[in-house]
Each structure stands twice: as C-alpha cells, then as structure tokens.
Amino acid sequence: MASEPVETTQLAAGSDVLSSPNVTRQSRVRKREDAIISAARHVFTTHGYVKATMAMIAREAGVADGTLYTYFENKDALARGVIADYYARLTQTAKQGVDSRRTTQTRLDFLARHHITSIMEERGIIEMLPLLSSRLSGYSKDELYGLNKTYVAVFDGLIREGRACGDIPGDADVAVLRDIFFGALDYGARSSLMRASGESARKTDITRLVNRLVGMIIGTSASTGSLADRLETVADRIETALKQVGH
C-alpha cells in the first residue's frame, strides 16, 4: 500500500515535465516550422525556386516576413529545409513499402512506382536540387548528398537481399544497377511530363516503364554471359522502353 502514493507522485512529476513551458514552447516552434515547410513546398512546387520569394511563402504560411526569417535565414536555407522534409517522407515511405512486400520483384515494382510517382507529383522540389548543389566537387560533403545516399540505400539493400536469395545474379554490381534503375525512372518521368497527355496516358507510361525495368533487373538471373554483357543488354532494352514512353 505504501508504494501507491510514491507512484502517483512520480506520475504527477512526469506530467509536470511534459506540460512545462519549455516543452509547450518547443511544440509550438515545431508546429510553426512544419507549417512554414508545408507552405514553402507549395510555393516552390507552384512557382519554382527562382520565382518563389520569401514574402510569398510568408503569406502562404500566414506569418509575418520577419517571423519567417527567425526560422530560416534565407530562401536557400528554406529550400534545403523543404528538400530535407521531402527526403525524410520519401525514405520513410520507401522503407515501409519495401518491408511490407515479400518478394524481390514486388519490392522493386513498389520502389520504382513510388520513386517515379514522387518525382512527377513534386517535380518542383526535385528541380531545386541542381540549383542548391551546383558545385559537384564538394557535393559528397553536402547535406543533400547525405539525404540522397540514405534514400538510395533502400534500393541497395533490396538488391543485396535479392542476390542473397538468388533472384538477382550474385555478381551484379549494386552501383551499376542503381544508376540504371534511378536513371531510367528519372528520364522516364521527364519524358512523360513533357508529353501533352492526360492522367490515364501517364499511368500507362509509368506501368510500361516499370514493368520493363523491373523485368530486366530480375531477368538478369536467367541470362547467360558476363555481367557486363547482361547489363549492356538491360541498358539497351531500357533505352528502347524509354523511347516508347517518349512517343
């Protein structure tokens, strides 16, 4: 019986900590920052990085211009915040989707559709990347490089698991397959967006490209000859698929 008052006291103390002014203030700051990031994402996606202004973003977020600068010192810093948020969401959903599927083929199919759909839906954010990381010599030390590396690690892990279970050749070069996979999807997304086609046609574009791409990566396990020959064949077939998407 003596222990009950002590436990109640401890809970009360914990509640005081959770409801302290500092915790409440941190929650408000975080909520305001999230609102600014959301507003900036909308403005950048709608108007592009060059035409977007801090004043436009402040109005979208419903805050004063001065308030915006207390969270982000300039447009570059805010754009980086938007990209960091984008990668966090992209990586989290990629991991969840891959982990919820059991076979290499269904995992690759999900990741391909997830990637190309994200690019097409939030292309305004993707287009900011070259503007914020124009100096390639120092890109490996840039925060954006680290974010991208964390994201593509989902693909790398998938390929390694596929090699371990025999779905993908054991000598398959992860880096080469990664370049083919994301390169084809990025190019395919741009080609589809440039076409004057409706939503139905774009879904057809995505399905055609993803099916060919995933089938080729998985299909390398049944191929003969050297890895270089197999990858060259894959690249040739993807190029053909991309030309079909673009016409």
For the chain, 247 residues long, give each residue's pLDDT as a single digit of tens: 444 443 333 334 444 444 455 558 778 888 899 999 999 999 998 888 999 999 999 999 999 999 999 999 999 999 999 999 999 999 999 999 999 999 999 999 999 999 999 988 888 888 888 777 655 455 567 788 889 999 999 999 999 999 999 999 888 899 999 999 999 998 888 887 776 567 777 788 888 889 989 988 887 544 444 445 555 555 555 555 555 544 4
At residue 117's C-alpha, the angle toward residues 187 and 122, to 5°, is: 90
Residue 81 domain-assigned?
A: no
Which whole-number Å values give the CA distances from 237 to 92, 179, 212, 229, 234, in the listed order? 31, 15, 8, 12, 5
Shared domain check, 122 and 215: yes
CA–CA separation, 8 vs 19, rounded Å? 16
DSSP letters spanning 73-90? SSHHHHHHHHHHHHHHHH
Q: In degrees to the nearest 10, what's the CA dihedral of 61, 67, 68, 74? A: 170
| Residue range of the domain that includes 167 | 87-245
**181 shares its domain with 125:** yes
CA distance 22 to 6: 25
Residue 210 contacts residue 116 (beta carbons within 8 Å): yes
Does 79 fall in a domain?
Answer: no
Q: How far is CA 163 from the centre of its chain?
A: 24
Among 27, 48, 73, identify where a domain stops. 73
